[in-house]
Amino acid sequence: MLNMKLKERLALAISAFLVLFTLMLIVDIQMDYGNFANKVPLPLHARVHSGDLEDKGRSAYIEFRKRFLQKSNGSNGSREYEQSAPGETSGGGTDAEPRTPAPPTDRYEDLQKIILSQLQGKAEDHTVVIPPHRDLNILRPENPTIGEMEDLEPSINASNLERFQLKIAQHELYEDGEPLVDEILKDMATNSILHVEQKEGGTQLKLIIDYPNGVQALFKPMRFARDVQTLPNHFYFSDYERHNAEIAAFHLDRILGFRRAMPVVGRVLNMTTEIYDVTEGDILKTFFVSPANNFCFHGKCSYYCDTGHAICGNPDMLEGSFAAFLPSSDIAERKVWRHPWRRSYHKRRKAPWELQSDYCDTVRTTPPYDSGRRMLDLMDMSIYDFLSGNMDRHHYETFKMFGNETFTLHLDQGRAFGKAFHDELSILAPLLQCCLVRHTTLSLLLKFHNGVPLSKVLRESLKLDPVNPILWEPHLVALDRRVLIILDAIRNCVNKAESPLQNEVNDFV
């Protein structure tokens, strides 16, 4: 009898547990749906889309965005999600935990196949993936250096930077593995600072740092902690510049094999002895001690150069980024180009690329984009900027002496790495609208996706910087997510190129 009761009780307990467990599962699933429903059709998103509707079917990037959002409804999870907390900082708590990406289920074998066949000398006329033998950056029939062009040789006691500058070549700033890069980084991080002055022009405060032997660096000060995000109501053009973005962007450019960004390093300065004591002029009048007893200054510029936006030490130690100076214009003049996919820099106006469906065709048929490497460089730049979230690419520069067949410099990455939880697809517009990518760039992205993730490679590289950690972990996590988005975009282009009709039908499904 007692035995029976015990058995009954046990059976009862098990069934109660099972019922509870099932209930919990249902609640859990519902919460998931709830979350998702909250995430996608938010009013915030809707506002973005209201503009998009006018352009329905006109902009390739909007098409991609639509398809992309649809796709993220499935097993891949939501890949574009807005910052949930609109605060200035996202806080250090659970947000800072690295979100381990799911193991890749899709290895992009279709894209790998293209890479492989091009390496075997096939698929050479591919319209989307440009093979090495049609890429001037790989062919490099000539690759003279500034020193060779100007008939200049470094003197015996020339600085590392001067040697570096004379070695800048037609197709890249420095060679893969160039030892002078590390030397320059070390020099800028450790050499004594002789003189400091504010850089004229530009929108935000920057200092020109003079070291012994004529070496110079461009200094951008630290304003915020690493986890402070772009203010949600700030446009890209009123975003603050971040010194750590400059450091991270240099490493990223090098990892991606572009080598189009000047070396940048982090360093902590004593504001009294390494800035105040070695500068003169108007900037001195902007130094003050804040109520928190920190030493501050604001300099003079057209944005954020006032007491309310001062740069403050802790209490008088200030971190910043030091970018190696480009050769002076006496040696190597630069040409400034308007970026064809420049944003409007107006809070209501749109740029031409946002309005014209055939915008890329117009660019592609206009010199210098109609031949050579320039168009491919813009595609690389779009990928580089999308990965780092840099929306501020209004102009770009090249070295005049090399003509049009030269690389585009990656200058001014101060507004990158501002939103770790948002992937700004419009930065990919050049790639989405032109459907063009270098074989070498695609090959590298596939390598990151299927092998050691980009986040890991960048994290390791940044460890070499004196003020590491350089990036807040969610920014690194974002990189792997964005690699996937770029690969999706390229796949989309390839599919469209291979069966344009079928895809046109799909567009409207």
Which residues here bind ligand ATP, judged by CB under 6 A?
Answer: 202-204, 206, 218, 241, 262, 323, 325-326, 411-412, 414
| DSSP letter string, 397-435 | EEEGGGTTSSPPB----TT-S--TT---GGGGHHHHHH-
Task: Give the interface size with Mn ion as a residue count (CB under 5 A).
Answer: 1
**What is the smallest separation between the CB atom of 81 and ligand ATP, expressed in angstroms?**
29
Nearer to ligand ATP, 323 or 428 (CB): 323
**What is the smallest separation between the CB atom of 385 and ligand ATP, expressed in angstroms?**
13
Nearer to Mn ion, 385 or 412 (CB): 412
Nearer to Mn ion, 253 or 412 (CB): 412
Task: Report which residue type is found at 162.
Answer: E
**What is the smallest separation between the CB atom of 302 and ligand ATP, expressed in angstroms?**
8
| DSSP letter string, 263-292 | -EEEEEEEHHHHTGGG--SGGGGG-EE-TT
Nearer to Mn ion, 203 or 468 (CB): 203
| DSSP letter string, 4-48 | HHHHHHHHHHHHHHHHHHHHHHHHHHHHHHHHHHHHTT-HHHHHH
With CA atoms as reference, report the closest residue to 252 among 266, 263, 240, 239.
263
**What does 423 interact with, of Mn ion, ligand ATP, none (CB < 5 to 8 A by kind)?**
none
Task: Report which residue type is found at 493.
Answer: C
**What does 244 interact with, of Mn ion, ligand ATP, none (CB < 5 to 8 A by kind)?**
none
With CA atoms as reference, report the closest residue to 45 among 5, 78, 4.
78
Phi, psi of 496 (to 5 degrees): -65, -40
At 321 the three-state DSSP class reads strand
Mark 390-419 with x for binding to Mn ion (rule: CB under 5 A) and - for no binding: ----------------------x-------
**What is the smallest separation between the CB atom of 55 and Mn ion, expressed in angstroms?**
27
Phi, psi of 490 (to 5 degrees): -70, -40
Residues 35, 98, 318, 239, CA torsion sign:
negative
**What is the smallest separation between the CB atom of 436 and Mn ion, expressed in angstroms?**
26
Nearer to Mn ion, 246 or 412 (CB): 412
**What does 326 interact with, of Mn ion, ligand ATP, none (CB < 5 to 8 A by kind)?**
ligand ATP
b/e per residue 116-130 (b: at least 16 CB within 10 A): eebeeeebeebebbb
* 385 counts as binding Mn ion under rule CB under 5 A: no
* 246 counts as binding Mn ion under rule CB under 5 A: no
Any catalytic annotation for residue 32? no
How far apart (Å, rounded) are the C-alpha atoms in residues 138 and 71?
35
With CA atoms as reference, report the closest residue to 414 among 217, 190, 218, 210.
218
Tell me which residue has its CB nearest to Mn ion: 412
Binding residues for Mn(2+): 241, 412
Nearer to ligand ATP, 206 or 373 (CB): 206
**What is the smallest separation between the CB atom of 392 and Mn ion, expressed in angstroms?**
5
With CA atoms as reference, report the closest residue to 479 among 101, 71, 52, 30.
101
**What does 327 interact with, of Mn ion, ligand ATP, none (CB < 5 to 8 A by kind)?**
none
**What does 411 interact with, of Mn ion, ligand ATP, none (CB < 5 to 8 A by kind)?**
ligand ATP
Binding residues for ATP: 204, 220, 241, 323-326, 397, 412
Binding residues: 204, 220, 241, 323-326, 397, 412
* 172 counts as binding Mn ion under rule CB under 5 A: no
Tell me which residue has its CB nearest to ligand ATP: 202
**What does 218 interact with, of Mn ion, ligand ATP, none (CB < 5 to 8 A by kind)?**
ligand ATP
The DSSP code for 304 is S
362 membership: H or E segment, kind and range: helix 359-364
Nearer to ligand ATP, 325 or 402 (CB): 325
Tokens for 126? 């591919």
Nearer to ligand ATP, 160 or 204 (CB): 204
Q: Which of 187, 239, 392, 465 is catalytic?
A: 392
At 139 the three-state DSSP class reads helix
**What does 351 interact with, of Mn ion, ligand ATP, none (CB < 5 to 8 A by kind)?**
none
* 316 counts as binding Mn ion under rule CB under 5 A: no
**What is the smallest separation between the CB atom of 474 and ligand ATP, expressed in angstroms?**
24
**What does 204 interact with, of Mn ion, ligand ATP, none (CB < 5 to 8 A by kind)?**
ligand ATP
b/e per residue 47-84 (b: at least 16 CB within 10 A): eeeeebeebeeebbbbbbbebbbeebeeeeeeebbbbe
How far apart (Å, rounded) are the C-alpha atoms in residues 277 and 413?
29
**What is the smallest separation between the CB atom of 262 and ligand ATP, expressed in angstroms?**
4
Known catalytic residues?
A: 392
Q: Which residues bind Mn ion (CB under 5 A)?
A: 412
